[in-house]
Amino acid sequence: MSAPLRVGLSACFFHADPQRAIFKGKTLLYAEESMIELVSRTGALTYLVPRPVEGGPSVADYVDDLDALVLQGGSDVCPRTYGQEPLRPEWEGDEARDRYEIELIHAFVDAGKPVLGICRGLQVLNVAFGGTLHQDVETQVPGSRRHRDWDLYDANHHHVDLAEGEWLARLHGGAARVTVNSVHHQAVRDLAPGFEVEARSVDDDLVEAIRRPGAGYVAAVQWHPEFTPRERGELLDPMPLVDDFVAAADRAR
């Protein structure tokens, strides 16, 4: 029997904060536990991929040791990463995390190893290949629905339409319209060259899933499949997506 797959998770950052009550002034790299749980349900082993340090293992070393990469959700992508200035201070994002994740993305893709983006992961994946973002959907997309509600958080749900006959629709038995959670305020503006849209929000046509066709596996969704409860009700089943990603990793190794 072959060894379990080894899936890397890009780290979320808590940057050094002298006012924080714990780990005062220290930078923390972390994973959201439900993301680990979701990947682990496939039988794959999950590992947090640290930011390389001088004199330590390189990005190439981590790529060699792992079979695939998941880009977690989290902080905004910094507008400077895609050639813009933040329109408001609170949309500054995390430029250091952008640089770290974009290096990981290209290293895994160049090695022919699958990459799956979740929420912020979709946005940084789009930017890594030349796309841009709306810095804030509510102010930049007239008539848009509220894609992030702090009080509802992952209980904020809406419908998305899956591209007929395409990869994501096929994963879900040919479904045309599904219900997902929504915890984001940034979104794809200009789609990266070479990518295709796999799903759009019903209310405002925002991009909700993307994929790069051809060799390799590079795909992402704007919602959080890891936040879907076991008793999911109307919400889209998260497992077909994750199982497909893990199966691609198994084929690639």
Quickly state the pLDDT bin for 122 (edges 50, 70, 90): very high
Q: What is the pLDDT of residue 231?
A: 87
The rounded mean pLDDT for the chain is 96
Q: Is residue 16 part of a domain?
A: yes
Tell me what the mean pLDDT of segment 241-248 comes to. Answer: 98
Q: Is residue 1 part of a domain?
A: no
Q: Is residue 102 part of a domain?
A: yes
Number of domains in the chain: 1
Per-residue pLDDT reduced to its tens digit, 67-79: 999 999 999 999 9
User: Which of helix, strand or coil describes residue 214?
Assistant: coil
Residue with tokens 């749900």: 157
User: Would you say 125 and 212 are in contact if contact means Cβ atoms under 8 Å apart?
Assistant: no
Give the relative orientation of helices 239-252 and 33-40 as an angle to the nearest 10 degrees.
70
Q: What is the pLDDT of residue 230?
A: 86
Tell me what the mean pLDDT of segment 166-191 comes to. Answer: 97
What is the value of pTM for the model shown?
0.96
Amino acid at 204: D
Q: Which of 70, 91, 72 is nearest to 80 (CA)?
A: 91
Q: What is the pLDDT of residue 186?
A: 97
Q: Is residue 144 part of a domain?
A: yes
Per-residue pLDDT reduced to its tens digit, 95-112: 999 999 999 999 999 999
Helix (H) / strand (E) containing 196: strand 196-201
User: Would you say 198 and 147 are in contact if contact means Cβ atoms under 8 Å apart?
Assistant: no
User: Would you say 32 and 226 are in contact if contact means Cβ atoms under 8 Å apart?
Assistant: yes
Provide the sign of the torsion angle of the four alpha carbons 123, 129, 135, 137, taken in this order: negative
Q: Is residue 142 part of a domain?
A: yes
Domain of residue 10, residue span? 6-252
Task: Report residue 180: phi and psi, to 5°.
Answer: -135, 165
Which structure tokens are listed for 79? 């507008």
Residue with tokens 């979740």: 118
Strand-pair partners of 8: 47, 69
For residue 14, with 0-12 CB atoms within 10 Å meaning exposed, 13-18 middle and 19 or more buried, which class applies?
middle
Q: Is residue 17 part of a domain?
A: yes
Q: What is the pLDDT of residue 175?
A: 97
- DSSP label at residue 19: T
Chain centre distance of CA 191: 15
Q: Is residue 117 part of a domain?
A: yes
Alpha-carbon gap, residue 151 to 148, rounded angstroms:
9
The catalytic residues are: 119, 224, 226
What CATH number corresponds to the domain at position 127?
3.40.50.880
Q: What is the pLDDT of residue 1?
A: 62
Q: Is residue 232 part of a domain?
A: yes
